[in-house]
């Protein structure tokens, strides 16, 4: 499934994602700089409490750790953004 999304150009890579302000509008701005997709799954090794707070009011963007992400989530979202720190964990899980 992830391979199909990669081939379709629906998997993007991001060096890091942090929203120190904890504000939803700052989070939306950061995500919109990466993609204009309606439903976005962001996978990272971990996120700060402020970043989680900024995301919590949104229904079309979801933060998920590489340890907890599942196939259903990958299929549901239009675009998957993988933060660099999650790549190693995802590689181990999918090997």
**How do beta strands 79-83 and 40-44 pair?**
parallel
DSSP H stretches of helix in 1-95: 2-7, 24-32, 49-55, 71-76, 87-94
Band (8; pLDDT cuts 50, 70, 90): confident
16 near 60, Cβ under 8 Å?
A: no
In angstroms, rounded to a whole number, what is the distance separating the alpha carbons of residues 22 and 51? 6
Residue 94: phi, psi to the nearest 5?
-100, 0
pLDDT above 90 (res 3) = no
57: Cα separation from own chain's centroid: 15
Domains of the chain: 2-94 (3.40.1370.10)
- pTM comes to 0.92
* pLDDT over 90 (residue 90): no
Render pLDDT for 15-70 as a digit per residue (tens, 0 to 9): 999 999 999 999 999 999 999 999 999 999 999 999 999 999 999 999 999 999 99
**What was the pLDDT predicted at 94?**
74
Sign of the torsion formed by the C-alpha atoms of 49, 74, 61 and 42: positive
């Amino acid at each position: 499934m992830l391979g199909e999304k990669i081939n379709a150009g629906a998997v993007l890579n991001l060096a890091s994602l942090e929203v120190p302000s904890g504000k939803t509008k700052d989070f939306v701005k950061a995500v919109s700089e990466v993609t204009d997709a309606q439903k976005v799954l962001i996978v990272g090794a971990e996120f700060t409490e402020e970043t989680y707070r900024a995301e919590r009011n949104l229904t079309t963007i979801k933060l998920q750790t590489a340890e907890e992400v599942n196939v259903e989530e990958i299929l549901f979202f239009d675009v998957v953004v993988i933060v660099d720190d999650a790549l190693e964990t995802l590689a181990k899980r999918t090997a």
